[in-house]
């Protein structure tokens, strides 16, 4: 073993003191200042005169060390020489080192504050656990839900909504993103960022989860094959919240959690004994895609009802103020809204009665489901003239599934959602489609993922094609014009949503070139991951689903109104009520019918009229006209279809 030098030992001791922080660094600098002052004072003591007292000499040296202004007051060559050395040492040790230590300490403290490590002192706020591609549209949804938000604030007796977001690394860049996000802007001051992970108990304490009015847990994206998934992180976060509540003997907050694998639903319910609503992300998007295959054009309805912006939304009102009225009487007094049905309390939670009879009485504990452009339109308004009542009888049930029987569907791409999409197709009974899956992912890996997803009876009529749809020759060999429906899936194997969407959009443009050479045109459904890309393909002929925007809307609205989740499950799953398109020729309509007449005609069949899907786009490129004014003439043209809510 090599011997250590004395200098090395001294350096090591000094280093160990300096790394302990600003306090120890200041002590070390103070020791050096004291030693230099002592040495300088002892050097001038032999001069005599005013330096007969060693204490006065040391004080003289200290003043020269800390204040250069004394440099010209000294007399004598030796005294001036020592004074000059002390002044130079003061610049280096006292001013330079001391200022450097204090500056570094201040910068470090400011950086710690910017990282958001201080626990928030709030109550009845909304917590979002995670910064993902859904966070920005989710926050925009929460801040933009004015009417529903007012009810939420009144319920929790607070004046202003405060949002707390837990991000792995909170930074000024994220604040900049918030300010530039449409729908947030200046309201970014209502959003507080905190650093940490949802699986860390101290991070959950940092955002005051136990004092929150609602906690939203969106799913994060993990690499394929990772042992850690977003569902694992969600369950761990719920376990941590429950453990903190037991430790502090506090009530559990209301949680809205997104999971990717619907098979984890029992695990989530066991992990969290409090009020929790679970949104199955993969299953939800899969249901919407299958419904879109059954009813081409339905994506426009999704993009209006399930995303922020212009158009209509689903609202749920309590029955306290309208107890005793029937659904028909309520609809007549709400001319700006369409009454879809109600929710009735039962042992299992809520019984959903959409497209119910207009004679159904409303009880105090019921919840009424409406569609309107704004929350205020679901309120009574004495200035608005009531409508004649519409009588709706028993619903006309339509046999479902015939649209899938033998239908040829081409899936371009692969992501973790494909197994749930295949299971959703299989849930529609014996009338199943024929599906070809095209991807560069090896076929054994795909088949392994499908075989592990055991939910219901598996789909039988499918095959794998190992090819890259970005290569034109390989795409032509598949002959996409020979299919009834083509679905372009957004990849989850790329680094970001922008890269995934870039691949999807290039594939779409290439597909359009190939289809332009064929006389027939299949239905095109394109899934995107980044909401910012929705305006890039102007004049596109495909149907577009932006998964993060839809899931963000659902998470935000379910957080503000819990009962909304069962309504969405009813609308977008097999069986029960559904939104579909019907030909005007299926009904006896007068030559010039307004929307109120259409309501009466459809009500006679037990259905609810929602709007019209035009065959020709308007000046804004929109085909869908939902909830038009009751006295507006529809002027139906060949190819137009009616948007109807009915039973299947």
- Give the domains, in start order, of the chain with CATH numbers: 6-114 (1.10.287.70), 126-287 (3.40.50.720), 310-398+574-647 (3.30.70.1450), 408-541 (3.40.50.720)
Task: Check residue 408 and give its pLDDT.
Answer: 92
pLDDT digits (tens, 9 = 90+) for 470-521: 888 888 999 999 999 999 998 876 656 677 788 888 888 888 888 888 888 8
What pLDDT is stored for residue 637 in this prediction?
87
Q: Give me the pLDDT at residue 257, please.
A: 92
178 in Cβ contact with 150 (< 8 Å): no
pLDDT score, position 410: 94
The 8 Å CB, 24+ separation contacts for 627-631 are 627/312, 627/336, 627/337, 627/338, 627/371, 627/372, 627/373, 628/595, 629/595, 630/335, 630/387, 630/594, 630/595, 630/596, 630/599, 631/594, 631/595, 631/596
Given a cut of 60, whether residue 447 has pLDDT beyond it is yes
Give buried/exposed letters for 148-162 (b at 16+ CB in 10 A, else e).
Answer: bbebbbeeeeeeebb
DSSP letter string over 492-510? SSSSSHHHHHHHHHHHHHH
pLDDT of residue 570: 86
Pairing of strands 624-626, 214-217: unpaired
Task: Indicate whether 78 pLDDT > 90.
Answer: no
pLDDT at position 48, please?
64
SS3 623: coil
> 57 near 44, Cβ under 8 Å?
yes
In three-state secondary structure terms, 131 is coil
Three-state DSSP class for 322?
Answer: coil
Q: Compute the mean pLDDT over every residue in the chain, rounded to the nearest whole number.
A: 82
CA distance 456 to 165: 37
Beta carbons within 10 angstroms of residue 338's beta carbon: 23
To which H or E segment does residue 462 belong? strand 462-466
Nearest-angstrom CA–CA distance, 130 and 524? 33
Is the predicted pLDDT of residue 577 greater than 60, yes or no? Answer: yes
If you average pLDDT over residues 19-25, what whole number do you get?
69
Predicted local confidence at residue 41, as pLDDT: 72
Using one digit for the tens of pLDDT, what is the confidence trace for 171-216? Answer: 878 888 888 888 888 888 888 899 888 888 888 888 999 999 999 9
Least Cα distance to 469 among 410, 542, 529 occurs for 410
Quick one: pLDDT at residue 242?
Answer: 92
Residue 54, CA distances (Å) to 63, 75, 125, 458, 472 in order: 14, 18, 65, 96, 92
- Between CA 35 and CA 40 the distance in angstroms is 8
* Dist CA 100 CA 29 (whole Å): 11
């Amino acid at each position: 073993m090599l011997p250590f030098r004395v200098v090395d030992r001294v350096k090591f001791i000094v280093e160990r003191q300096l790394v302990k922080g600003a306090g120890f660094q200041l002590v070390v600098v103070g020791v050096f200042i004291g030693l230099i002052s002592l040495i300088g004072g002892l050097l001038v003591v032999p001069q005599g005169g005013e330096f007969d007292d060693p204490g006065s000499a040391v004080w003289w040296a200290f003043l020269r060390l800390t204040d250069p202004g004394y440099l010209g007051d000294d007399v004598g060559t030796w005294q001036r020489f020592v004074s000059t050395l002390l002044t130079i040492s003061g610049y280096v040790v006292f001013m330079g080192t001391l200022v450097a230590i204090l500056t570094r300490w201040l910068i470090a403290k400011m950086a710690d504050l910017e990282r958001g490590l201080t626990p928030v002192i709030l109550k009845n706020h909304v917590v979002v656990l995670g910064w993902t591609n859904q966070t920005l549209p989710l926050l925009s949804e929460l801040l933009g839900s004015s009417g529903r938000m007012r009810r939420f604030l009144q319920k929790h007796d607070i004046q202003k909504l405060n949002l707390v977001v837990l991000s792995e690394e909170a930074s000024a860049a994220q604040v900049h993103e918030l300010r530039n996000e449409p729908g947030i802007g200046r309201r970014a001051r209502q959003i507080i960022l905190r650093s940490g992970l949802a699986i860390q108990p101290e991070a959950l304490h940092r955002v005051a989860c136990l004092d929150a009015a609602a906690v939203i847990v969106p799913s994060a994206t993990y690499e394929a094959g990772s042992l850690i998934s977003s569902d694992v992180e969600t369950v761990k976060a719920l376990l941590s919240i429950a453990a903190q509540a037991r430790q502090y003997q506090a009530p559990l907050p209301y949680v809205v959690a997104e999971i990717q694998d619907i098979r984890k639903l029992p695990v989530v319910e066991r992990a969290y004994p409090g009020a929790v609503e679970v949104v199955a992300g993969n299953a939800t998007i899969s249901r919407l895609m299958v419904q879109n295959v059954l009813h081409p054009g339905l994506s426009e309805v999704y993009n209006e009802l399930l995303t922020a912006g212009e158009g209509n939304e689903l609202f749920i009102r309590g029955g306290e103020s309208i107890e005793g009225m029937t659904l028909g009487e309520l609809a007549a007094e709400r001319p700006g809204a369409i009454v879809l049905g109600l929710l009735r309390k039962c042992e299992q939670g809520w019984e959903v009665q959409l497209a119910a009879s207009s004679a159904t009485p409303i009880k105090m504990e019921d919840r009424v489901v409406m569609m309107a452009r704004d929350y205020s339109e679901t309120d009574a308004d004495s200035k608005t003239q009531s409508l004649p009542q519409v009588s709706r009888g028993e619903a006309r049930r339509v046999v479902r599934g015939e649209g899938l029987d033998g239908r040829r569907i081409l899936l371009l791409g692969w992501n973790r959602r494909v197994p749930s999409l295949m299971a959703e197709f299989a849930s529609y009974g014996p009338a199943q489609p024929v599906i070809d899956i095209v991807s560069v992912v090896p076929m054994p890996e795909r088949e392994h993922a499908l075989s592990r997803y055991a939910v219901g009876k598996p789909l039988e009529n499918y095959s794998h094609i190992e090819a890259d749809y970005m290569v034109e020759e390989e795409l032509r060999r598949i002959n996409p014009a020979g299919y009834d429906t083509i679905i372009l899936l957004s990849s989850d194997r790329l680094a970001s949503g922008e890269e995934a969407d870039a691949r999807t959009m290039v594939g779409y443009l290439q597909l359009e070139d190939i289809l332009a050479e064929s006389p027939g045109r299949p239905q095109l459904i394109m899934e995107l991951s980044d909401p910012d890309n929705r305006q890039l393909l102007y004049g596109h002929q495909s149907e577009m689903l932006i998964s993060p925007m839809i899931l963000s809307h659902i998470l935000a609205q379910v957080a503000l109104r819990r009962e909304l989740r069962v309504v969405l499950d009813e609308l977008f799953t097999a069986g029960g009520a559904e939104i579909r398109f019907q030909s005007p020729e299926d009904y006896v309509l007068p030559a010039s019918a307004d929307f109120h007449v259409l309501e009466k005609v459809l009500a006679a069949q037990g259905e609810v009229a929602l709007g019209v899907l035009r065959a020709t786009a308007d000046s804004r490129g929109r085909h869908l006209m939902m909830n038009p004014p009751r006295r507006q003439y529809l002027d139906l043209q060949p190819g137009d279809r009616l948007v109807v809510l009915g039973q299947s």
